[in-house]
Copies of this chain bind each other. A is one copy, B any other.
């Protein structure tokens, strides 16, 4: 494997000294880029794009050609695992992801397989390998998965949800069944992420998009417990290189103290969480990633620059901060505004590092 030319993202996650704050963006390969929309149109569907390693590699690389990002992230969907479990993922225009065979009974849970990622999710693993080779060590590659809880919400609801009535119904009425399901998901997620690591992923992020819809005790029992189980099953290094890990629970700002117990190197912060206070609460133990309001990218560049400066100042001096948005970039953002954000991190962060 080639030597990593820019490793500040890895070092920031491990709280090792660096010269400036690294920056990347959730959904950085996506619809806000005209070159992405072109490939997406050629692919015919979002799923075709995800399942074709060459196209997935191409869209992963696109934002790196435009912006000085310090990491690439695998282009994929968070619902690849349930699809490999046989639930039949499909997308309807404007309604988001759906499953043909959502989980309805204990028998459905019992027969859920733990997919072998090297065969049943081979298109993802092939994409990781191709992207890693294509990057040629320019920046590290982030592998990712949805968290067991977040995957379970889609699998039981049959798609996106507002109230999460079905999954919470299962949680209240048949908690043991839900635990069986989450345990299988944790094993599946860990195997999937380990296969990504073996294929070349140099850091791992777990997206717990819907953990924040739970009460604090339900979060700990049904989401965080399985995020920790995933972490415990992950390879911690490969070829002597440590693989840092990030846990992001949207809406989880209240629970940061609990989250550090899951053993991840860094916690992702949504924009509602004050990063200065977050660092005071947990920042001596974990690194922090975030957390500009994605809507702020609609503002004029001079305002974006001020927002970047505020976040850098709030985190303060020393390593342990990865600049990012507090959620994925919105699809109609002007790419020039992204450039303003990235350049501002490059320009104004060195003063916080010795």
Give chain A's interface residues, CB within 8 Å of chain B.
163-165, 168-169, 172-173, 212-219, 251, 253-254, 271-274, 277, 293-296, 298-300, 303, 310, 330
- If over half of A's interface residues share one DSSP class (helix, strand or loop), that class is named, otherwise mixed; here it is helix
Given contacts A212-B272, A216-B273, contact A299 B172 (CB under 8 A): yes
Residues from chain B with Cβ under 8 Å of A253 in the complex: 254
10 CB contacts below 8 A, A to B, read: A163-B294, A164-B295, A168-B295, A169-B295, A172-B300, A173-B303, A215-B272, A219-B272, A251-B272, A254-B254
**Central interface residue in A165, A212, A273, A295, by most chain B CB within 10 Å:** A295
Closest to A254 in B: B253
Is A300 a contact of B254 with CB atoms below 8 Å?
Answer: no
A127: shortest Cβ distance to chain B, in Å? 29
Is B163 a contact of A330 with CB atoms below 8 Å?
Answer: yes
A147: shortest Cβ distance to chain B, in Å? 16
A318: shortest Cβ distance to chain B, in Å? 22
Is A215 a contact of B271 with CB atoms below 8 Å?
Answer: yes
Is B215 a contact of A300 with CB atoms below 8 Å?
Answer: no
Closest to A306 in B: B172
Cross-chain contact of A272 among B169, B254, B293 (Cβ < 8 A): B254
Cross-chain contact of A299 among B173, B215, B296 (Cβ < 8 A): B173
